[in-house]
Amino acid sequence: MSNIAAIVEEFNKSEPFKAKLPVTLKNGFTLTMMSGRCAECKAPLDDNLMRGSIVLFPEQERPNVVCANGYGYCEDCEVLTEYVGRVRAGGKDTYLEVFRAKGWVRFRLVHEKRWKRLRKKILDFLQG
Ligand SMILES: [Zn+2]
């Protein structure tokens, strides 16, 4: 079997990432989804079509790190995009780390409570 055929077969057998979520990290951050974009058209991928393995480190109720490894399928382009990402609790903050051509790229995620406060501030500001 070719490498590509093996990847497609693996993808078809895999569960969506979202089937293994939500996961609450050690710092209280609840991860509800893994999102990604098509490598071809850059459109957000349907989370039913983002599939692969989710591994918790350590393997316990409130892990420090959630690793997602798999592929996302774009129906428009008929292309599979490899997805290697992890979400890490670093003290109070939480980071999304995504593997790109030049290595790991890190983004800070906003906690839902903090996001709600921030969103309220932005709306208050916009509405004068
Ligand atoms: Zn696409």
Residues 53-91 have pLDDT tens digits of 999 999 999 999 999 999 999 999 999 999 999 999 998
CA of 17 to the centre of ligand 1 (A): 19
Of the candidates 82, 66, 67, 77, the one whose C-alpha atom is nearest the C-alpha of residue 11 is 82
Instruction: Provide the residue ranges of all domains of the chain, joining segments of one domain with +.
Output: 3-127
pLDDT bin (cut points 50, 70, 90) of residue 24 is very high
Distance CA 42, CA 87 (A): 21
CA of 36 to the centre of ligand 1 (A): 11
DSSP three-state, residue 72: strand
Does residue 46 register a pLDDT over 90? yes
CA of 23 to the centre of ligand 1 (A): 28
CA of 75 to the centre of ligand 1 (A): 7
Residues with CB under 5 A from ligand 1 (ion): 38, 40-41, 74, 76-77
pLDDT bin (cut points 50, 70, 90) of residue 110 is confident
CA of 62 to the centre of ligand 1 (A): 34
CA of 22 to the centre of ligand 1 (A): 26
DSSP tag of 111: P
pLDDT given at position 1: 67
Distance CA 2, CA 128 (A): 60
Find the DSSP H helices in the chain.
Answer: 3-13, 112-126
CA of 77 to the centre of ligand 1 (A): 4
Does residue 118 register a pLDDT over 70? yes
